[in-house]
Amino acid sequence: AKARMGWGLAAVAAPGTPMLFIGTEVHHCGYWNASTDTLGDHRFDWSIAGDPTAWGMRNLVADANNVRWANDALRSGSGFSIPHSDEMNHVLGFLRWSFGGNVILTVVNLSTNQWDDPIYGVVGGSPGDSWTEIFNSQAPQYGGWANSGNYGAQLRAQTDGLFYIPLPKWSVLIFRKD
What would the mean pLDDT of 107-124 be, rounded to a whole number? 96
- State the pTM of this model: 0.86
Given this model, what pLDDT does residue 47 score? 74
* Contact assessment for residue 108 and residue 14, using Cβ atoms and an 8 Å cutoff: no
Mean pLDDT, rounded, for 106-122: 96
**Residue 63: strand, helix, or coil:** helix
pLDDT at residue 163, rounded to an integer? 96
Q: Is residue 67 within 8 Å of residue 18, measured between CB atoms?
A: no
